[in-house]
Chains A and B, each alone.
Chain A
Amino acid sequence: MPLLEISGLTQRFGGLQALTDFSCRLEEGELVGLIGPNGAGKTTVFNIVSGFYKPSAGQVVFAGRETNGLKPHRITALGMARTFQNIRLWHDMTVLDNVRLARSAWLGYGLWSAVLRTPGYFRAEKAIEKRARDVLEMMALTHYADEFPKNLPYGLQRRVELARALAGNPRLLLLDEPAAGLNSADADDLIRLIRWLHDEFKLTIWMIEHQMKVVMSLCQRLTVIDFGRVIASGLPQEVRNSPEVIKAYLGDDTL
């Protein structure tokens, strides 16, 4: 059974058809790329999969469960996490709190325990704290635990966002342009990091990326979309030489 199966996804915004009959499947443990020119509808796919938009048609099945109509936090609780194209951290909270809050779906206590400070509360908070510290350690961020993200350099902010996504122990990780705005050396670090995550935790990763270096060195499979339609999919080498793809990126020669 595939981990994620998307079939016939269509999304309209008013008169604009952002996505037409998009289908795709991800097996457990794969590392797949989703590429396409700007405005092709890549982020829309992620937004639908993570539950932020309700698709006009089509369905998404994640871990054997249809997620249409589920709220984003419910989908997250099923084991999905994502990062954002433009970093979306909670800037007035420490890095540690950012990661801690990503455990919200698995808190293990409620309002009354928090206010009455029951033993259950302390137990749960301890577990959350431990998990958050572990993730920071793993991502080499321990040093910045008490910093505010807004004071960190851009590359570190990206890493904090990744750490936050990992805090929930996801089965599927969606990365929306993780290398955007990184210089070449940082991008190399990122490639190593993602590869390590994928190998170490058997994470399934689906990424949108523009930097060809990152895509080509990481992804096992690629899907290419343009104007909301899939125009090619397959192994990176095949996709790269597909005339459709070249046309989409470089324009039509016959013009």
Chain B
Amino acid sequence: MRRYTINMLLALAAVLLVLMAQTNLMDKYALQIVMLIGINCIFATSLNLVNGYMGEFSCGHAGFMCVGAYVGSLLSVAFFSDSALFGQALFGPEWALALFPLVLIGAMIAAAVAGLLVALPSFRTRDDYLAIITIAANYIVISIIENIDAIGGPRGFSGMKKTVNAMADSVNTLLDGFVGFLGFDFVVSDSDYAMSAAVVMLIWTLIGAFICVQVIRRLMTSTYGKSISAICQNEVAAEIMGINTNRAKIMAFMISSGLGGLAGVLYAHVYGYVNAQSFNLLKSTEGLVMVYLGGMGSLSGVLLAAVAFTLLVELLRFVIPWLNTTLHEVNLLPADYQLDQIWTWVIIPLMLILLMQFRPEGFLGNRELTHVFPGLKRWFTLK
């Protein structure tokens, strides 16, 4: 029974979220934040695989997110809508709901292959040199995309909204059919209860986050996956004790970048627009902040950090203008000076620096929630 509690809790939470969104208990803005949290969870936990468990310092994770976002968007447009770029849709909008997983998988595979750009050099290099390679990979990805004019170049790429809308239409048609089958004389798609495009993406984001966390948890509790930690803790011993270190490194990098790609494709569909510059080093740095905030190699810690970080950024959106007016009222600020949003990126680094000084191992360090609160073990297990 214990084995299923977590899954059941998560399923319950997901259903609750969807219901809240559906009944407008959550407004558009709140919905957006929940989806962003989901995406950040995927982004951070997948980065944690390399930076936490394997102990390498990858600072170009957003590059893989970028690959996933673009490849996913292109597939989505090519599959489900007519466009100037691909001509007629390969399948047509009515297939959007059924074949959307194909888009996700395609994006993940593409991002995983891009991960080879970093995985292959990692056989011979490590530490700082590998860090550089990841930075270079991030820039190379952005640079390549910006140089392909067909997909928008520096202007970005859009058209994914159509796919999302098509999915919402299909869901509503299905709901209509279901309600009709039950014998009610009620047309959902015309009513206030019709599922909106945003809710469809919320569901996909929740599914994506769930799959990502499951993959990493199952991997890292298996002997197979622990070889990644073995490489981190003593590579020589790993090599000699029969671990195929090169294979383990490729696996870790490809899974990490593939899941990063999943975050990317979801991001692209949530916003309906992608631009290579939104996946620059600053985005990668956000990932690093989440991983080190949560604690390297702690799945639950990084998840907590992803939630806390996203909420913090949104919170500062309100706190800074409030501070601005308050400080002006009490004349602590010069009248011609306005506090603006850029302070977010002063406050967050400052907080992380302070955290490093006083609790360098992050929220949870190398441990999981169950280690910190053993009582939780009664309710669920991470095995």
Contacts and interface: CB of A to CB of B under 8 A. Distances in A.
B244 interface: yes
Contact of A128 (B223, B238, B366): B223
A73 B224 contact: no
Contact of A115 (B218, B233, B238): B218
Given A90-B229, A92-B233, A93-B229, A114 B222 contact: yes
A117 B218 contact: yes
Interface of A: 50-52, 71-73, 76-77, 81-82, 84, 88-93, 97, 100-107, 109-111, 114-115, 117, 121, 125, 128, 164-165, 168
Contacts of B158: none
B241 A164 contact: yes
Top 8 nearest A-B pairs (CB, nearest first) are A105-B242, A76-B242, A88-B237, A114-B222, A90-B233, A104-B243, A114-B224, A104-B242
A124 B245 CA distance: 20
A43 to B, nearest CB: 12
Given A101-B227, A115-B214, A115-B218, 19 more contacts: A51-B240, A52-B240, A71-B246, A73-B242, A76-B242, A84-B237, A88-B234, A90-B230, A92-B233, A97-B226, A100-B226, A101-B238, A104-B224, A104-B227, A114-B218, A114-B219, A114-B224, A121-B222, A125-B223
Contacts of A92: 229, 233, 366
B interface SS class: helix
B223 A88 contact: no
Interface of B: 214-215, 218-219, 222-227, 229-230, 233-234, 236-246, 251, 366
Nearest to A165: B241
A116 B156 CA distance: 37
Contacts of A103: 223, 242
A102 B251 CA distance: 19
A28 B359 CA distance: 54
A165 B238 CA distance: 12
A117 B204 CA distance: 23
A72 B218 contact: no
A115 B237 CA distance: 25
A105 B243 CA distance: 6
26 contacts: A52-B236, A71-B239, A81-B241, A84-B240, A88-B236, A90-B229, A90-B238, A92-B366, A93-B229, A100-B226, A101-B226, A101-B230, A101-B238, A101-B241, A101-B243, A102-B242, A104-B243, A104-B244, A110-B224, A111-B224, A114-B218, A114-B225, A115-B214, A115-B215, A121-B222, A165-B241
Contacts of B234: 88-91
